Amino acid sequence: MVIFIGGLQEIPAELYEAAKVDGAGPWQRLIRITVPLLKNTTYLVLTFGMINAFQVFDQIAAMSKQSPLGSPSGATSTLVTFLYQQSFSYMDMGYGSAAAVILFLIIFSLSTVREILGRRSE
């Protein structure tokens, strides 16, 4: 929300005033001024959110203090917890490193797709 507030503060007030003088209502100002000018901010927030969603670890580690990560029955298991277990619980660094590379490739490919779709809509 802080990033969106910063993006909203960067929109010049003169644009809203000019639209109001031209007879645009609040809905038209939102659709034709605010949303298009917040496109880059929205892209940034979506990209950061996607990366953070793939890297969830601390909440899962806090929930399963005394039991194995991903307990019960792997219900909270993610790629990052799998990577951690392989690397540090089972001491299989090669397998954990391969999981880290897969995580990187997933995030990179989704970011690339998002970038291509963002350029196409311009």
What's the pLDDT tens digit per position in 33-66?
Answer: 999 999 889 988 988 888 888 888 888 888 877 6
Q: Classify each residue of 84-117 as buried b or exposed e, where b means 16 or more C-beta atoms within 10 Å of its C-beta.
A: bbbbeeeeeeeebeebbeebeeebeeeeeeeeee
- In whole angstroms, give the CA distance from residue 106 to residue 50: 11
Q: At residue 16, does pLDDT exceed 90? A: yes
* Mean pLDDT of the 5-29 span: 95
pLDDT greater at residue 66 or residue 75? 75
Structure-token pair, residue 70 = 């991903």
Residue 121 is predicted with a pLDDT of 67
Q: Give me the residue label for tokens 């490739």.
A: 105
81: nearest Cα among 103, 53, 60: 60
The separation between CA 52 and the C-alpha centre of its own chain, rounded to angstroms, equals 6
Contact 45, 33 (CB under 8 A): no
Query: Can you give the pTM of this predicted structure?
Result: 0.67
Assign 98 a pLDDT band (cuts: 50, 70, 90): very high
13: nearest Cα among 34, 27, 31, 28: 34
